[in-house]
Each structure stands twice: as C-alpha cells, then as structure tokens.
Amino acid sequence: MFVYSCLENIQTIAPGKELSVYTDGSCHPVSGIGGWAAIILEDGGNVLLSGKETDTNHHRMEITAALCALRHIQSTASHSRPIVLYTDSQYLADLPQRKGKLLAAGMRTRKGDLLPNTDLLIQLFALLNALVMEIVKVPSHEKTGRLRNYNREVDKLSRKIVREAVRKCMGL
C-alpha cells in the first residue's frame, strides 16, 4: 500500500539538476509489521510516499521505500533527470556494487538457498539499469546541521507507521 501526499514547498530544484530522494524503512521484529517512507524533492513541491506491510523484515522495508520512490519518479517526466537516493541503510547502499555478484550467483546464498527479498532485489536492479542514479549512504539518525534533515524525517515517519500499526494490531 502506498500513500501519496504532497508536502509544502520544502525545497525547489532547478530544472536539469538531479532529483534528491530520501528513503527509510523500519520493522517491528516480533510482529513482523513494517513501515517505509520516502521524500522526493521535486520542482514545485515535494512528494511524500509511505506505507506499511505485515509479515516483513527491515531490509524489505528499506528496499520497498527505494522501489516506491523510484517507480514514482519513473512514472513522471522527472525520470530523465539524474537521481541521488540517500539512505542510512548500508545494505541498500551496497546493492549496486553487489549486483553483478548476486546475479551471477543466481540470487542464491553459498548454501544454495534463494536470497531473502529476491523479488524486490530483481525489481531494484532493473530500475538501477533503467535510471541514471546513485545511492548515497548517510549517517543514521543524525540530528545536527542547519539544513532540513530529510533522512531524519523519513526515519521518524517510518517508525511512527510501525508504532501505530503495532498498537492497532495489539488493540491499544
């Protein structure tokens, strides 16, 4: 499930420059409830995407946030611009470098088991091929700085989604 909503004019990007995307995912390990969020800084206003899933894991939510943001960009005229995707997930940031090795191994572990989240990894790899983009690892939960911290915003939103879903599931 994704929820689309526009934020107020947070930042404007000059035409022709790269799109900045901030993503994060979170998961409650006991309940398997996860949430994800992405902010795309676009001309004329920014786009906030978010959602939740059940029976999931943390890496799946990190990948889902990136996938949903990239799919949104691909569905708009903005897809021809270079994209910089910012994430605090080392796992997600390393995937472009690991792509060739993972595909050569048939998306399997050394024991021959299918990698977790293979369905999403294949979709992400296809988007990496289709879009001009880079993934940048940023420090997680960093509070300092004069500029608006979009990474912290998506982190807080994804954790809020999980908290609310877990409370609802538990009847609180």
Instruction: Give pLDDT tens digits for 97-121.
Output: 999 999 999 999 999 999 999 999 9
**Of 28-37, 123-132, 163-172, minimum mean pLDDT range:** 163-172
Domain count, the chain: 1
Could you give the percent of the chain with pLDDT greater than 70? 85
Q: E strands along the chain, which residues?
A: 3-6, 19-28, 33-42, 45-53, 83-87, 133-137
- 3-state secondary structure string across 73-95: HHCCHHHHCCEEEEECCHHHHHH
Confidence band of 158 (pLDDT split at 50, 70, 90): very high
Instruction: Give pLDDT tens digits for 1-58.
Output: 222 232 332 333 344 578 999 999 999 999 999 999 999 998 778 999 999 999 999 9
Average pLDDT over residues 70-82: 86
Domain that holds residue 149: 3-93+132-169
Rounded distance between C-alpha atoms, residue 26 and residue 140, angstroms:
12
Instruction: Give residue 106's pLDDT.
Output: 97
pTM value is: 0.87
30, part of any domain: yes
112, part of any domain: no
Rounded distance between C-alpha atoms, residue 115 and residue 136, angstroms:
23
108, part of any domain: no
32, part of any domain: yes
Rounded distance between C-alpha atoms, residue 7 and residue 50, angstroms:
13
145, part of any domain: yes
Instruction: Give residue 2's pLDDT.
Output: 27
Residue 147 has pLDDT above 60, yes or no: no
Instruction: Give residue 16's pLDDT.
Output: 52
Quick one: how far is CA 111 from the chain centroid? 29
Residue 123 has pLDDT above 50, yes or no: yes
104, part of any domain: no
CATH code for the domain in which residue 146 is found = 3.30.420.10
Rounded distance between C-alpha atoms, residue 78 and residue 19, angstroms:
8
Return the closest-CA partner of residue 84 out of 156, 159, 151, 172. 151
118, part of any domain: no
14, part of any domain: yes
Q: How many CB atoms lie within 10 A of CB 66?
A: 28
Instruction: Give residue 8's pLDDT.
Output: 30
Residue 110 contacts by C-beta under 8 Å, 6 or more apart in sequence? none
In angstroms, the Cα distances linking 139 to 14, 34, 68, 87, 93 are 26, 21, 22, 8, 12
Could you give the percent of the chain with pLDDT greater than 90? 74
